[in-house]
Amino acid sequence: MIVAVGMGLIYAGYTVSILGYCWVRGYAVTFTDLFRQTWPGVQAAEQPAGSHKLKTITGNQQVTS
């Protein structure tokens, strides 16, 4: 019984510390969000200004064998 209580306290402390970290970093996370199976990703509407697109390097003649 004592072991189960100790594990519960450790889990509760871990959960509260993650929530506190998220709040300090400015993330909009609620307590119930921590228990969801998956978190929705942030969808970017467009590519940010000043970023680089991946392109093929011209003149690259590297051959692997």
> What is the residue extent of each domain of the chain?
1-25
Please tell me the predicted confidence (pLDDT) of residue 4: 95
Report pTM: 0.50
Residues 6 or more apart whose CB falls under 8 angstroms from that of 47 comprise: 53
| CA angle (54 as vertex; 48, 57 as ends), nearest 5 | 145
Q: What residues in the chain have per-residue pLDDT under 50?
A: none
Please tell me the predicted confidence (pLDDT) of residue 17: 93
Specify the DSSP element, H or E, that contains 10. Answer: helix 2-25
Please tell me the predicted confidence (pLDDT) of residue 27: 83
